[in-house]
């Protein structure tokens, strides 16, 4: 398997993006999947590397990356050494990052005999699920889309009107990261960007407008993003396929760090569903 880690995509007007690629030389004309991590996530979290290796060994080209403002840096793409960048993140930046990754992927694999750069598919976990749905609705290059424990709405996650008013007055609110114990900032620009781009960031409308195949995968033990959100996505796009993974939590019964050389039973089921759906 060809695996290249921590490639740096430099952008003249924006922060650089760190990405990884995986593919096997045992297959020709492989479809590509681009994986988008979720909130307080990063490309090397938990079992994501192992998942990508599994997909590549089964005949898929894989690209995974850190969103430019996820809190990582090019020197340290794991965890959150740059909380200032984290605080300046917003949904529009993540959509623009994904667009640049799509451009890079098409260009990078243009002359690769093993991978087909015209067959690009998106996978998004959690908040990344919302991002891939929005991007799919506006970009004809995407052939299929998969959400893993994906969110169905962004607006409700900002809190109630009183919380938003306090946020505006102080300019920043903090969220504790349960694992690293960092106080992670969200500057009020996040909400201002949402209001300025409300139509573009409407996951419900985007889901209704998806005309390509859409697979929704969710665990019935997910306490971070309730299964009701998966059911809502499926109702908005009745042609989508809904796959419930029994006994699976928000990260399909994995954790960070993941030091095993096998996927959890639940994440292995996710991989099988991805392969069946795309191939």
Please give the Cα distance from 125 to 217 (Å, whole number).
10
pLDDT digits (tens, 9 = 90+) for 179-218: 999 999 999 999 999 999 999 999 999 999 999 999 999 9
Give the residues across from 174 on adjacent strands: 185
The per-residue pLDDT for 58 is 97
- Whole-number Cα distances in Å, 231 to 24, 133, 268: 35, 15, 22
Confidence of residue 178 (pLDDT cuts 50, 70, 90): very high
**Would you identify the CATH topology of the domain 2-154+200-278?**
Rossmann fold (3.40.50)
Burial 177-209 (b: 16+ CB within 10 A, else e): beeeebebbbbbebbebbeeeeeebbbeebbee
Confidence of residue 47 (pLDDT cuts 50, 70, 90): very high
- Whole-number Cα distances in Å, 270 to 17, 29, 143, 244: 26, 23, 19, 10
Please give the Cα distance from 252 to 272 (Å, whole number).
13
Q: Where in the chain are the domains?
A: 2-154+200-278
Please give the Cα distance from 193 to 128 (Å, whole number).
17
Confidence of residue 48 (pLDDT cuts 50, 70, 90): very high
Cut 0.75: pTM above it: yes
Contact 23, 31 (CB under 8 A): no
Confidence of residue 114 (pLDDT cuts 50, 70, 90): very high
High-pLDDT (> 70) share of the chain, %? 100
> In the structure encoding, which two tokens stand for residue 273, read together?
């569903």
The per-residue pLDDT for 101 is 98
């Amino acid at each position: 398997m060809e695996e290249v880690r921590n490639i740096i995509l430099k952008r003249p007007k924006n922060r650089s993006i760190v990405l990884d690629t995986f593919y096997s030389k045992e297959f020709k004309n492989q479809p590509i999947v681009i994986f988008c991590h979720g909130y307080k996530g990063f490309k090397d979290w938990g079992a994501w590397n192992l998942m990508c290796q599994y997909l590549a060994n089964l005949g898929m080209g894989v690209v995974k990356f850190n969103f430019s403002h996820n809190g990582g840096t090019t020197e340290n793409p794991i965890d959150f050494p740059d909380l200032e960048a984290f605080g300046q993140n917003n949904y529009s930046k993540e959509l623009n990052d994904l667009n640049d990754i799509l451009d890079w992927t098409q260009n990078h694999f243009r002359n690769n005999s093993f991978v087909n750069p015209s067959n690009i598919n998106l996978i998004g976990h959690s908040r990344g699920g919302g991002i891939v749905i929005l991007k799919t609705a506006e970009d004809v290059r995407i052939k299929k889309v998969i959400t893993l424990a994906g969110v169905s709405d962004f607006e409700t996650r900002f809190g109630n009107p009183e919380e938003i008013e306090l946020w505006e007055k102080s300019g920043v609110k903090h969220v504790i990261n349960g694992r690293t114990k960092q106080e992670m900032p969200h500057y009020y620009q996040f909400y201002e960007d949402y209001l300025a781009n409300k139509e573009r960031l409407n996951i419900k409308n985007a889901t209704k407008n998806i005309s390509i195949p859409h697979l929704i995968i969710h665990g019935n033990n997910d306490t971070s993003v309730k299964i009701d959100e998966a059911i809502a996505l499926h109702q908005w796009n009745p042609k989508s396929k809904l796959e419930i993974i029994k006994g699976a939590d928000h990260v399909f019964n994995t954790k960070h760090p993941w030091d095993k050389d096998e996927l959890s039973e639940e994440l292995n089921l996710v991989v099988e569903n991805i392969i069946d759906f795309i191939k």
